[in-house]
């Protein structure tokens, strides 16, 4: 796996066709074929089995409305769906805070496969699977080393966090695919065509999630100061205005048309708080990527090589004091290797800064790497380069390091904070939180991969699944529903109108009144069912006591008909909060909740 393959050339002997020679070279990449098959099994198996969770439901519900109206409207005539209380909407109730690519991609999938869970997740699962291929091809074409390419793809395939992102009807998978394509086009950017492709990748990455501008800025900045990128420098200057023209207007539109951006971002109030946020961003990044191990091996390998070179020079001097040091000693790091590593670390740094500027440390702890999911394939590429370089051609060392990085957590932050079960780290009046598994074995070994594999053939129903199944069996079409959390996935699976979707305190209230939305949207008017999630008691701005009191005052009679376990989230994408099929978590739950309930409401004369 060490041959140079930066250009695909089929050398052939007389009597052997070009096709046969090409086929022989393709066979040399059989490890990639094995990885892609394993990746396909891990990603696509039962991809449509578990119900969508809240964030996925947002994507699916707005995608459904795209098929009706052409744009992601929050009101479809039956239910008002916006988890930010209308802050993300413009005056036409169109969601404008978050870029639209994920919604239109999901809508296209619905158009082909129908509106179901499989169709919602399939395009994102496919994007994740393609990122495995693209990582391999990028490193092989640029470095000509199949061992490095294989290592990076393997680190992705067996990353549980990568696999959880792959099974999300959300932008995370698109970030991972597009950032690799961005790197590919940047390193090849030597013509107008490649410059255009780079600009396209940058624009698509931004419109997948605005933080996607971080790798674009990182690569652009490096092209201005890093000599090997001198060729790209000229083309970056051409691409930058086009990228700005196709991205900055969205930020202006979002800020002027809605208050969603201000609601979902918070500025640091002091330098100390900003440092706290940066520390939390570092924790989140190193908890799910092999950056710690990569940095340790990088430093050790570099020091050992320098020591070896110094020893060789000293031995030469002892043999001949007049001898000059040998010229043209090959550098330890090849130019392309160093270029990739610098690009990866600069991108990770800017992602950390971007998230620290806009998100509190608590938000970062809860969100994990979802905003910076693009870091996962980049960290895998950096780790692969460092592992192969440190092995110095030894297959045993390479395979040993790869297995350690893949099937243990020694390359992540987790085992290095294993002695602190709470994960709380205080920095004066500031504090950050590491994620420490409850079981000691889980702090050192990659047991999550085996649990994930086991769950491929198991159903994992949670509160949304149980409540939706009950409603489909018992509710009649047109029955009005009150639900205090999971409005979007509940509507996606039941299509029942929802009451109390807009309260007077919501920023969209007056505009909704102007548009003459039905009365049940603003109160309990003729609600037939209540699904009350105990984990979100006052989430929508009202409590169950408020709802019951208003229903009783209007003459309604409430009857509890079902209790169910409160599972908080269904298919949560972050491994630190993901619930597996037996109800277990790799990491401690911060809180448990009483049972959630479903109630029926009966009204006089109905």
pLDDT value at residue 10: 41
pLDDT level of residue 11 (50, 70, 90 thresholds) = very low
Compute the average pLDDT of residues 170-178. 97
pLDDT value at residue 251: 87
Backbone angles phi, psi at 54, to 5 degrees: -55, -55
pLDDT at 259 over 80: no
- CB neighbourhood size of 255 (10 A): 14
pLDDT at 405 over 70: yes
CA-wise closest residue to 48 among 120, 109, 111, 114: 120
Q: Are the beta carbons of 282 and 412 closer than 8 angstroms?
A: no
pLDDT at 329 over 60: no
pLDDT level of residue 3 (50, 70, 90 thresholds) = very low
pLDDT at 133 over 90: yes
Backbone angles phi, psi at 179, to 5 degrees: -70, -35
pLDDT level of residue 4 (50, 70, 90 thresholds) = very low
Which neighbouring-strand residues pair with 515?
none
Q: Tokens for 237?
A: 């200057």
Q: Are the beta carbons of 174 and 206 closer than 8 angstroms?
A: no
Percent of the chain topping pLDDT 70: 92
Which neighbouring-strand residues pair with 95?
89
Q: Tokens for 509?
A: 């209230």
Distances 256 to 62, 87, 239, 251 between C-alpha atoms, Å: 21, 12, 26, 9
pLDDT level of residue 587 (50, 70, 90 thresholds) = very high
Question: In this predicted model, what pLDDT tens digit does every residue of 239-258 receive, in sequence order?
Answer: 999 999 999 999 888 888 87
pLDDT at 151 over 90: yes
pLDDT value at residue 8: 39
Percent of the chain topping pLDDT 90: 79
pLDDT value at residue 12: 46
pLDDT at 290 over 70: yes
pLDDT at 210 over 70: yes
Compute the average pLDDT of residues 447-473. 94
Q: Tokens for 340?
A: 């990739």
pLDDT value at residue 181: 98
Task: Say how many residues make up the chain.
Answer: 606
* HEC profile of 315-350: HHHHHCCCCCCCCCCCCCCCHHHHHHHHHHHHHHHH
Q: How far apart are CA 150 and CA 321, in angstroms?
A: 46
pLDDT level of residue 9 (50, 70, 90 thresholds) = very low
Task: Supply the mean pLDDT for the chain.
Answer: 91
77-81, 113-117, 135-139: the lowest-pLDDT one: 77-81
pLDDT at 459 over 60: yes
pLDDT level of residue 541 (50, 70, 90 thresholds) = confident
With 0-12 / 13-18 / 19 or more C-beta atoms within 10 angstroms meaning exposed / middle / buried, residue 424 is exposed
pLDDT at 484 over 90: yes
pLDDT value at residue 317: 61
pLDDT level of residue 22 (50, 70, 90 thresholds) = low
pLDDT value at residue 394: 92
Provide CB contacts within 8 A for 364, sequence distance 6+: 277, 280, 281, 284, 355, 356
Q: How far apart are CA 355 and CA 281, in angstroms?
A: 7
- CB neighbourhood size of 238 (10 A): 14
Question: In this predicted model, what pLDDT tens digit does every residue of 90-109 receive, in sequence order?
Answer: 999 999 999 999 999 999 99
Q: Is residue 158 left, alpha or beta, with left meaning phi > 0 and alpha meaning psi from -120 to 50?
A: alpha
Provide CB contacts within 8 A for 360, sequence distance 6+: 266, 277
pTM listed for this prediction: 0.92
Question: In this predicted model, what pLDDT tens digit does every residue of 555-569 receive, in sequence order?
Answer: 999 999 999 999 988
CA 425 to chain centre: 25
Q: Tokens for 137?
A: 């091809």
146 three-state secondary structure: helix
Q: How far apart are CA 328 and CA 331, in angstroms?
A: 8
Compute the average pLDDT of residues 478-484. 95
- CB neighbourhood size of 241 (10 A): 10
pLDDT value at residue 320: 61
Provide CB contacts within 8 A for 257, sequence distance 6+: 90, 91, 96
Which neighbouring-strand residues pair with 89?
95
Q: Are the beta carbons of 32 and 25 closer than 8 angstroms?
A: no
H or E stretch at 426: strand 424-427
pLDDT value at residue 6: 44
pLDDT value at residue 306: 78
49-53, 404-408, 588-592: the lowest-pLDDT one: 588-592
Backbone angles phi, psi at 146, to 5 degrees: -70, -30
């Amino acid at each position: 796996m060490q041959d140079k393959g930066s250009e695909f050339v089929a050398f052939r002997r007389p009597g052997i066709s070009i096709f046969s020679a090409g086929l022989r070279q393709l066979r040399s990449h059989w490890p990639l074929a094995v990885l892609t098959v394993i990746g396909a099994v891990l990603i696509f198996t039962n991809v449509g089995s578990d119900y969508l969770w809240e964030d996925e439901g947002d994507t699916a519900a707005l995608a459904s409305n795209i098929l009706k109206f052409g744009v992601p409207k929050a009101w479809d005539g039956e239910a008002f769906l916006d988890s930010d209380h209308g802050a993300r909407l413009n005056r036409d109730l169109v969601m404008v805070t978050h870029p639209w690519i994920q919604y239109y991609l999901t809508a296209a999938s619905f158009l082909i496969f129908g509106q179901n869970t499989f169709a919602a997740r399939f395009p994102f699962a496919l994007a994740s699977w393609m990122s495995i291929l693209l990582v391999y091809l990028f490193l092989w074409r640029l470095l000509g080393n199949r061992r490095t390419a294989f290592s990076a793809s393997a680190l992705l395939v067996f990353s549980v966090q990568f696999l959880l992102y792959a099974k999300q009807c959300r932008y995370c998978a698109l970030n991972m695919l597009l950032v690799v394509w961005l790197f590919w086009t940047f390193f090849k950017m030597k013509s107008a065509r490649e410059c255009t492709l780079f600009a396209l990748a940058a624009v698509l990455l931004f419109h997948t999630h605005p933080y996607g501008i971080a790798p674009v800025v990182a690569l652009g900045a490096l092209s201005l100061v890093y000599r090997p990128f001198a060729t790209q420098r000229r083309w970056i200057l051409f691409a930058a205005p086009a990228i700005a023209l196709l991205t900055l207007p969205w930020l202006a539109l979002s800020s002027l048309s809605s208050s969603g951006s201000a609601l979902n971002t918070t500025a640091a109030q002091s330098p100390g708080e900003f440092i706290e946020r940066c520390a939390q961003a570092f924790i989140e990044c190193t908890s799910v990527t092999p950056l710690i191990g990569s940095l340790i091996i990088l430093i050790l390998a570099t020091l050992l090589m320098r020591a070896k070179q110094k020893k060789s020079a000293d031995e030469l001097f002892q043999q001949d004091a007049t001898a000059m040091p040998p010229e043209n000693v090959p550098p330890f790091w090849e130019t392309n290797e160093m270029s990739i590593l610098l690009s990866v670390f600069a991108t990770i740094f800017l992602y950390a800064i971007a998230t620290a500027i806009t998100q509190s440390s608590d938000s970062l702890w809860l969100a994990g790497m979802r905003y910076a999911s693009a870091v996962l394939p980049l960290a895998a590429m950096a780790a692969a380069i460092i592992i192969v370089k440190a092995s110095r051609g030894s297959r045993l060392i390479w395979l040993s390091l790869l297995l350690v990085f893949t099937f243990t957590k020694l390359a992540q932050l987790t085992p290095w904070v294993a002695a602190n079960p709470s994960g709380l780290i205080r920095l004066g009046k500031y504090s950050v939180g590491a994620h420490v598994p409850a079981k000691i074995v889980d702090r050192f070994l990659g047991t999550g991969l085996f649990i994930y594999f086991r769950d491929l053939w198991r159903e994992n129903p949670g509160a949304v699944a149980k409540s939706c199944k009950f409603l489909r069996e018992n509710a009649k079409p047109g029955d009005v529903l009150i639900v205090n959390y999971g409005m979007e996935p509940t509507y996606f699976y039941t299509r029942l109108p929802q009451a109390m979707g807009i309260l007077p305190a919501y920023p969209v209230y007056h505009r909704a009144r102007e548009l003459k939305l039905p009365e049940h949207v603003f109160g309990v008017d003729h609600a037939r069912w209540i699904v009350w999630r105990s984990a979100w008691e006052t989430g929508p701005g009202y409590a169950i006591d408020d709802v019951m009191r208003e229903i009783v005052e209007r003459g309604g009679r409430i009857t509890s008909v079902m209790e169910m376990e409160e599972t908080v989230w269904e298919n949560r994408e972050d491994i630190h909060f993901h619930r597996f099929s037996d109800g277990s978590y790799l990491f401690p739950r911060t809180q448990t909740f009483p049972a959630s309930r479903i109630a029926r409401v009966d009204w006089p004369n109905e």
